[in-house]
């Protein structure tokens, strides 16, 4: 089991920010990354649909012999985590929300915490529930920022347009009793981090839920004695359900390195549609 790959999935390329932090923290592990690009975005869909998609994507990864499953998508973590853990009780299944919520609770001085996310993640109430479980008196504001996903995928990560959009989203939450901590509750948002810091100023702590999830993956595998024992450089396989050319073009901003379109295997999830 030790040298089997870690499976990572997202609706598209946003989860590559999680993969990037995993590689930095665990450079000798192997990874299989699946972007369900044919059906993105998950952030505008119902919880039932997201759960169905997540079960299908995870089944495709499990079929390839992974030792752990990382849900590199906040929306899928919000809705599908219980179903995935029930389906794979013998495998570590790790989402990004629990780790991000715990880190936010530790970082916040006042207990006033804002969560930037997609519409679906905000509607799910998953972040407030996870934060209140750790810090019952926390004051939480959810900020749905779905337009930021499109900006990130277009490569618009800095500049006046991005700043204006951020001001529009964030200003109401900071008008009275402003939070001292903001959770980046979407895996697309870390590529906008510099502009978010500019808008919020230096006194607001930012928590990257994907980065904290990578630390939790390391802790989980270490405790189970399943960290890779090899010393070879990371081996990564990329899967997508559509549009390998666009996946490769957009991926560099999220992963920090280029991917050749020919290196991305396009797969069909229909054989895994029977997930009940």
Catalytic residue among 18, 96, 186, 255: 186
- For residue 186, indicate whether it is catalytic: yes
* Backbone region of residue 162 per phi and psi (left: phi > 0; alpha: psi in -120 to 50; beta: other values): alpha
Catalytic residue among 32, 70, 73, 255: 73
- For residue 145, indicate whether it is catalytic: no
Could you give the CA distance from residue 270 to residue 59 in angstroms, rounded to a whole number?
Answer: 11
Own/partner pairs, 155-163, CB within 8 angstroms, 24+ separation: 155/250, 155/253, 157/191, 157/192, 157/194, 157/195, 157/253, 158/194, 158/195, 159/195, 162/192, 162/195, 163/195, 163/198, 163/199
- What CA dihedral angle connects 151, 55, 71 and 5, to 10 degrees? -120
Positions marked catalytic: 73, 186
């Amino acid at each position: 089991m030790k040298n089997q790959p870690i499976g990572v999935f997202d609706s598209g390329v946003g989860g590559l920010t999680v993969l990037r932090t995993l590689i930095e923290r665990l450079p000798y592990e192997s990874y299989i990354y699946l972007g369900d690009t044919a059906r993105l975005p998950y952030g505008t869909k119902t919880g039932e649909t997201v759960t169905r998609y997540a079960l299908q994507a995870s089944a495709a990864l499990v079929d390839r012999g992974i030792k752990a499953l990382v849900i590199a998508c906040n929306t899928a973590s919000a809705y599908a985590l219980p179903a995935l853990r029930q389906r794979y009780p013998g495998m570590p299944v790790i989402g990004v929300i629990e780790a991000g919520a715990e880190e936010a609770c530790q970082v916040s001085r006042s207990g006033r915490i804002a969560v930037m996310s997609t519409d679906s993640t905000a509607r799910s109430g998953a972040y407030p529930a996870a934060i209140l479980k750790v810090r019952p008196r926390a004051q939480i504001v959810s900020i749905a920022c779905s337009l930021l996903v499109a900006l990130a995928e277009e490569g618009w990560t800095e500049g006046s347009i991005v700043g204006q959009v951020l001001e529009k989203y964030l200003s109401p939450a900071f008008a009275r009793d402003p939070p001292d901590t903001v959770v980046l509750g979407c895996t697309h948002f870390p590529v906008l981090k510099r502009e978010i810091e500019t808008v919020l100023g230096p006194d607001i702590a930012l928590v990257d839920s994907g980065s904290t999830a990578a630390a939790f993956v390391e802790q989980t595998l270490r405790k189970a004695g399943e960290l890779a024992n090899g010393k070879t450089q990371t081996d990564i396989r990329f899967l997508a359900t559509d549009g390998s050319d666009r996946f490769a073009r957009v991926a560099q901003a999220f992963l920090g390195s280029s991917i050749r379109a020919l290196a991305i295997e396009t797969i069909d999830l229909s054989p895994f549609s029977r997930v009940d």
